[in-house]
């Protein structure tokens, strides 16, 4: 092949995807770093260099930004634990010889295919109107709380929706993984007199660390970037108590037109997300067991 | 771990999951049942079945969000985007796997790095690019943005798969005198068909349900996609739950049907899409 032909083919094969990638991700990402150091008030306005001012302002004056970070972290950790425990439990049960397991898997997965905006609105109705009715019918205190009307109920509302939506997805991954575990190991352990709990904690769980890594990573990336469900469920309210970082950055840029500060916030956000992701993958990977 | 036959433990476990499943379905019950009630009845008792069927909720919803138009918009944008993603994504991945060089290594690394970059980190400058290129309020503009934004994950999926495709067939084709394009389109494309199904399904779900990009790019009502139309409807008719619930049911219907028909592939897609990276 001549060099010219080779270059032509390379361009043909990797050219289109690379151009789109540079235009839509790479260039915006790097120019965003520059914009973090500017004052910039609108898409068409000219950014003016201000050095570290945006960062100083964020760290000194913007307590709401850190409140939204703290909210995101709390909500991420809670959801991470709830979804994985539930998904693992469902997976363990749904690999048993149960007649209804096919339809049950479908039911658990179903919420996952529906878009976040719709899910948020569905649950706004359930939490505000549905829960009220259930409360009247059953007299249970939980249902009569002012759902979505206080910071705590807002928090749990969002956790419920995310758990409802994510469990089925993780369950599929856990089922695929559990079916791959070599049953000889378990039989051998049984013959040696291991208890069910012993087999679970000493064999099944350690062998599942690779699937757990994947699932933790997935939930982390969903919840840490959560935007649309929160927007349609609580819009960050009441009193900005359920505002996630993604929502905070969105408001900063597109409601207040502070594009410079918005860029600075997204840079801080990127560094934290990247850091946490890398730590998490390294941590769970170090606990994986190879057989 | 897997019980050989049914025993009491398994039966108890089964009852537990069935109850959990009913709980998972409850939101759908509430939404569907109440979408058929007149407004007053919803407020009186949200748990009961409708006394009279208010079908007009649906005709109202179809009209108010311009459902047919909005559905077409979602279909056009999703179909074109995933089609182009599959073509360019598979071409790029194949080239990266088969022609290892500094350039392709850097490119692949950039794609992987982009996968952990949250959208908010590029959102603001991206809007400047989008405005400068006159992508605002054009479907093709949004599709091009998806091409850029969804390429990394697409390439990542194909990359892992193509690595495991044996070279022999391609080598035999070279000996038979096929040129590079023929090899790719006649030999490679059929070999990676199963991954193409995965990519199509995963990306279609992501793009169909995406909200933020359409919100930023398509402000004109005529161009709205389903999530955007539902969102702007709620902005206008806050707490008119009779119309709103019918709108929600309509909004989820297409994707739920899609899922129930292609369930096998969706589940397989989720499984192979989550191979550890």
A157-200 residue pLDDT tens: 999 999 999 999 999 999 999 998 888 888 888 888 888 888 88
Tell me which chain B residues have a C-beta less than 8 angstroms from the C-beta of A44: 131
Query: Token pair of B10, please?
Result: 């398994």
For B:219-248, CB contacts with A below 8 A are: 226-227, 230-231, 234, 241, 244-245, 248
For chain A, the residue count is 291
Burial of B117 (0-12, 13-18, 19+ CB in 10 A): middle
List chain B residues with pLDDT less than 70. Answer: 1, 3-6, 275-277
Tell me which chain B residues have a C-beta less than 8 angstroms from the C-beta of A130: 27, 30, 46-47
Among residues A8, A20, A140, the alpha carbon closest in space to that of B88 is found at: A20
The reply to whether B267 touches chain A by the CB within 8 Å rule is yes
B120 Cα to chain A: minimum distance (Å): 6
- Statement: residue A88 has pLDDT above 90: yes
* Cα Rg of chain B, angstroms: 24
Count of other CB atoms within 10 angstroms of residue B123? 23
Option in B14, B144, B209 nearest A115 (CB): B209
Query: What is the rounded average pLDDT of the residues A3-21?
Result: 92
Option in B13, B148, B276 nearest A210 (CB): B276
- CA atoms of B69 and B81, how far apart (whole Å): 18
Option in B95, B124, B211 nearest A117 (CB): B211
For B:36-65, CB contacts with A below 8 A are: 42-43, 45-47
**Per the CB < 8 Å rule, is A100 touching B18?**
yes
Tell me which chain A residues have a C-beta less than 8 angstroms from the C-beta of B251: 115, 118
Mode of pairing for the β-strands spanning A48-49 and A38-39: antiparallel
Give the pLDDT of residue A234: 92
**Per the CB < 8 Å rule, is B117 touching A270?**
yes
Query: Token pair of B246, please?
Result: 């019918």
The reply to whether B259 touches chain A by the CB within 8 Å rule is yes
Average pLDDT, chain A: 90
Q: A14: nearest CA in chain B?
A: B92
Best residue in A118, A157, A208 for a mutation probing chain B (most B CBs within 10 Å) = A118
The reply to whether B170 touches chain A by the CB within 8 Å rule is no
- Enumerate the CATH 1.10.3720.10 domain ranges in chain B, comma separated: 66-236
- CA atoms of B88 and A17, how far apart (whole Å): 6
- CA atoms of A81 and A163, how far apart (whole Å): 10
The pLDDT tens digits of the residues spanning A93-106 come to 999 888 888 899 99
**Per the CB < 8 Å rule, is A130 touching B30?**
yes
- Statement: residue A44 has pLDDT above 60: yes
Cβ–Cβ under 8 Å, residues A244 and A72: yes
- CA atoms of B149 and A113, how far apart (whole Å): 20
Domains of chain A are 63-285 (1.10.3720.10)
Give the pLDDT of residue A233: 93
**Per the CB < 8 Å rule, is A183 touching B114?**
no
Option in B114, B131, B266 nearest A44 (CB): B131
Option in A29, A164, A204 nearest B122 (CB): A29
| DSSP structure string for chain A | --HHHHHHHHHHHHHHHHHHHIIIIIHHHHHHHHHTTEE--STTSPPEE-TTHHHHHHHHH-HHHHHHHHHHHHHHHHHHHHHHHHHHHHHHHHTSS-TTHHHHHHHHHGGGGS-HHHHHHHHHHIIIIIHHHHHHHH--GGGGS-TTTSHHHHHHHHHHHHHHHHHHHHHHHHHHHHTTS-HHHHHHHHHTT--HHHHIIIIIHHHTHHHHHHHHHHHHHHHHT--HHHHHHTTT-STTTT--HHHHHHIIIIIT--HHHHHHHHHHHHHHHHHHHHHHHHHHHTT----
Query: What does residue B124 show for φ and ψ, rounded to 5 degrees?
Result: -70, -55
**Per the CB < 8 Å rule, is A111 touching B226?**
no
**Per the CB < 8 Å rule, is A125 touching B34?**
yes
- Statement: residue A288 has pLDDT above 70: no
The reply to whether B109 touches chain A by the CB within 8 Å rule is no
**Per the CB < 8 Å rule, is B121 touching A269?**
yes
Enter the ipTM.
Answer: 0.90
> Any idea which residue has 């791959």 for tokens?
A180
Class of domain B66-236: mainly alpha
């Amino acid at each position: 092949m001549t060099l010219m032909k080779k270059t032509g083919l390379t361009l043909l094969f990797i050219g289109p995807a690379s151009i789109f990638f540079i235009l839509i991700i790479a260039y915006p990402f790097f120019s965003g770093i520059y914009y973090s150091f500017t004052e910039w008030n609108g898409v068409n306005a000219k950014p003016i260099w201000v050095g570290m001012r945006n960062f100083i302002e964020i760290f000194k004056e913007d307590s709401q930004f850190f409140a939204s970070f703290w909210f995101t972290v709390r909500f991420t950790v809670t959801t991470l634990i709830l979804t994985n425990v539930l998904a693992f439990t469902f997976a363990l049960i749904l690999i048993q010889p149960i007649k209804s397991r096919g339809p049950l898997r479908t039911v658990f997965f179903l919420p996952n295919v529906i878009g976040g905006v719709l899910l948020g609105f569905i649950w706004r109705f359930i939490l505000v109107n549905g829960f009220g009715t259930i409360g009247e019918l059953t007299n249970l205190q939980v249902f009569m709380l002012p759902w979505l009307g206080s910071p705590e109920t807002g928090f749990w509302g969002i956790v419920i929706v995310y758990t409802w939506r994510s469990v089925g997805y993780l369950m599929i991954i856990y089922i695929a993984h559990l079916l791959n575990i070599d049953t000889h190991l378990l039989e051998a352990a049984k013959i040696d007199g291991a208890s069910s709990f012993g087999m679970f904690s000493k064999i099944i769980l350690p062998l599942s660390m690779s699937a757990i890594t994947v699932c933790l990573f997935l939930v982390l990336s969903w919840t840490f970037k959560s935007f649309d469900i929160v927007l349609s469920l609580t819009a960050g309210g009441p009193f900005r108590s359920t505002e996630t970082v993604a929502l905070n950055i969105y408001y900063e840029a597109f409601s207040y037109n502070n594009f410079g500060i918005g860029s600075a916030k997204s840079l801080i956000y990127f560094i934290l997300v990247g850091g946490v992701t890398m730590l998490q993958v390294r941590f769970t990977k170090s606990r994986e067991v190879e057989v | 771990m897997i019980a050989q036959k049914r025993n009491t433990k398994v039966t108890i476990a089964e009852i537990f999951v069935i109850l959990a499943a009913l709980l998972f379905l409850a939101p759908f019950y509430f939404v569907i049942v109440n979408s058929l009630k007149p407004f007053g009845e919803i407020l009186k008792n949200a748990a009961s079945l409708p006394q009279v069927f208010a079908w007009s909720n649906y005709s109202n919803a179809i009209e108010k969000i311009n459902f047919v138009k909005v559905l077409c918009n979602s279909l056009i944008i999703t179909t074109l985007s995933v089609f182009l993603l599959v073509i360019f994504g598979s071409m790029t991945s194949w080239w990266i796997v088969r022609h290892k060089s500094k350039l392709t290594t850097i490119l692949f690394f950039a794609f992987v790095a982009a996968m952990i970059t949250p959208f908010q980190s590029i959102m603001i400058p991206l809007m400047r690019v989008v405005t400068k290129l006159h992508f605002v309020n054009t479907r093709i503009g949004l599709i091009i943005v998806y091409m850029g934004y969804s390429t990394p994950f697409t390439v990542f999926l194909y990359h892992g798969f193509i690595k495991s495709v044996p070279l022999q067939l391609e080598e035999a084709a070279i000996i038979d005198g096929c040129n590079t394009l023929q090899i790719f389109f006649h030999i490679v494309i059929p070999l990676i068909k199963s991954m193409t199904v995965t990519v199509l399904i995963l990306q279609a779900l992501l793009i169909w349900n995406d909200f933020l990009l359409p919100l930023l790019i398509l402000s004109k009502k005529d161009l709205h996609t389903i999530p955007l139309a539902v969102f702007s409807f709620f902005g206008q008719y806050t707490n008119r739950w009779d119309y709103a619930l019918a709108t929600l049911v309509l909004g989820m219907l297409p994707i739920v049907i899609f899922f129930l028909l292609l369930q096998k592939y969706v589940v397989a897609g989720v499984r192979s899409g989550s191979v550890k990276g």
